[in-house]
Amino acid sequence: MNFVISAAIGGQATNVSNASLRNLNLSMAKYLKSGFENIEFVGVDKLKINLYISGDISEYCNCSGIKNVRYIKNKKEISSELCIQRIYWDTLPELSIEEKFIKFMYSSLLDLSILIEKKLENNGYFFDKEKFNKIIAECVR
């Protein structure tokens, strides 16, 4: 399965540099892409995630988490939007920016697996959520 993550960063967030966020996103995308490279799921050839990270210029969302999930049956593609609020970085002060990013991605991808399962079930496919979550755990943790 092809796994793609693209990010839009809305400027500077408190105590977080844009370069740091770009590097974290690129690393995460690389691990996930390689983790899903030779894995197949019936009904899905591609998982595309648009990650929106709010900052001081653009505020993309009111709350952090999953904004949208679509299944495009003829392309066998799941398309999703994840969003991180600017104030998210101020939470859990004991964690580093990297740990906060990993925590967000891990929990969001686990939540996404539930939504993917529902979308595929509605289209007559079985989705192996446990297999998906295991790969997520191996790639993100």
Largest separation between any pair of C-alpha atoms in the chain? 46
42: its two tokens:
């019936």
Average pLDDT of the segment spanning 91-96: 88
In angstroms, how far is CA 129 from the centroid of its own chain?
15
Least confident range from 3-17, 47-61, 82-96, 119-133: namely 3-17
33, containing H or E segment: helix 18-36
pLDDT of residue 67: 92
Q: How confident is the model at residue 3 (pLDDT cuts 50, 70, 90)?
A: very high
List strand residue ranges (DSSP E) for the chain, in order. Answer: 2-9, 46-53, 65-72, 77-84
pLDDT of residue 21: 83
Please state the pTM of the whole predicted model: 0.92
pLDDT of residue 14: 66
pLDDT of residue 120: 96
pLDDT of residue 49: 97
Question: What are φ and ψ of residue 73, in 5° steps?
Answer: -60, -45
Q: How confident is the model at residue 106 (pLDDT cuts 50, 70, 90)?
A: very high
Q: Render pLDDT for 121-132 as a digit per residue (tens, 0 to 9).
A: 999 999 999 999
Q: How confident is the model at residue 58 (pLDDT cuts 50, 70, 90)?
A: confident
CB-based burial label for 28 (10 Å; 0-12, 13-18, 19+): buried
Tell whether the model's pLDDT for residue 97 goes beyond 90. Answer: no
- Distance CA(77)–CA(53), nearest Å, equals 23
Q: How confident is the model at residue 110 (pLDDT cuts 50, 70, 90)?
A: very high
- Distance CA(31)–CA(20), nearest Å, equals 17
